[in-house]
A = this chain, B = another copy of it.
Amino acid sequence: MKIEAVDFYYLSIPQVRDIGDGSQDALLVRVQAGGFTGWGECEASPLVSIASWNCPMSHSACKPISASVLGQKLDSISDIHCINRLVRENALDLLQADHTLSGIDIALWDLLGKKFGEPIFKLLGYKNTYPKIAYASQLFGDDPQTTLDRARNVTRAGIRAAKFGWGPYGRGSVEEDAAQIAAAREGLGPEGILLIDAGTVWFDDVSAAEKRLDALRAAKVTWLEEPFVSGALDSYKKLSIESGKLLLAGGEGCHNFHQAKNLIDYGGIGYIQIDTGRIGGITTAKQVADYAAQRNVLFVNHTFTTHLALSASIQPYAGLKAHELCEFPFDPSPLGRDFTRTKLSPDKNGMINLPAKPGLGIDPDLATLEKYALEVEIKIAGRNIFKSVPINP
């Protein structure tokens, strides 16, 4: 079959707030080929990714993504690899390309899984999947009491692990930050797995991070996530030597294989966190998972948005038993909740199991999503470059 159509749907809640909640909008991608439909999601600015789909060519290494996708052959896994290579080569100088490719690549795997009647993890070569320990991902409260309440909600919901991040953490005093960490631990109880996400707040400043290590150790935090931006390898390495058993986690900002590989090779991290909606999709995420396993670094998904993205983000490491933690969107926006009817909710043991259904095993709920759809229109010199099509015609 040939790729006949690729459509992008910009979805958003009416009022996006200035908070670290990435589930407030979404870019849904539909790929059609040979009578099959695949779905994917870019974890990206919807408009900017849409613009990269059909922008005019600037030169041979700065082509629109469509030039490397539409009309391509899609009969096998190697065809997906071929499309990935083409996009990367033809859009070498188009920075947004990796984010746009991500949603397309996920949809290609979904489509091929549906065609072959196999879940994606089988196509990736995994015979079995292992349940993952769900961790509830949440924002720090504006004060420790709110954080404590949120942590208690996690425990009450039967979830065994929680991550707190963003909000005020890292921006105030060391004492204020310590109070937040202590509150999270108190709310979660002594047995809960506690993860802390600094959201790159210290950029590359090792000393700012070091000052917080005592409080993190006292609260038996499992990992400190993103003390620095993804490229600050040197800072990661220095802090990892200092932090010892308190492992570092990072990588959600990586948008290609080499950036993740470099964090593993040079950053001293214990966990590599990959957003399948940013790194280039399932193809690249699987490549990172294989490399991480080989280097004794634990792979973990980054997913703050929808259950469609959650299925896509677990597939690449579904069969890696030792890599047992899994981020899941605990408190997404109404858009995130409405995205799919099927949910990958944690079971009574707080574990998430991938559906053994073809492709992602989960489809977007188009009838419900219709109300979130925003119409996009782009013209250059009077010519239509992009015009939205209805999501639920």
Interface residues of A (CB under 8 A from B): 10, 12, 16, 18-22, 24-25, 43-48, 50-52, 55-63, 92-96, 98-99, 166, 199-200, 204, 229, 231-234, 253, 255-259, 261-262, 265-266, 278, 374-382, 385
Contact = CB atoms under 8 A, between A and B. Distances in A.
Contacts of A51: 45, 47-48, 50-51, 378
B376 A380 contact: yes
Q: Specify how many copies of this chain sit in the oligomer.
A: 2
Contacts of A265: 233-234
A46 B21 contact: no
Contact of A266 (B18, B25, B257, B262): B262
A239 to B, nearest CB: 15
Nearest to A64: B45
B19 A59 contact: yes
A157 to B, nearest CB: 23
Nearest to A25: B58
A55 B376 CA distance: 11
A255 B95 contact: yes
Pick from A48, A199, A253 the residue with the most CB of B within 10 Å.
A48
A182 to B, nearest CB: 25
Contacts of A43: 93
Nearest to A57: B16
Contacts of A12: 56
B93 A266 contact: no
10 contacts: A12-B56, A22-B58, A44-B95, A45-B93, A48-B95, A60-B166, A95-B98, A204-B258, A231-B261, A233-B258
A386 B10 CA distance: 17
B59 A24 contact: yes
A43 B61 CA distance: 12
Contacts of A52: 45, 48, 96
- Please provide the 8 A-B residue pairs with the shortest distance between their CB atoms, ordered closest to farther: A231-B258, A51-B51, A47-B55, A96-B96, A377-B379, A48-B51, A374-B381, A48-B52
B56 A47 contact: yes
A261 B230 CA distance: 13
B62 A45 contact: yes
A12 B58 CA distance: 8
Given A48-B51, A52-B45, A258-B229, A93 B62 contact: no
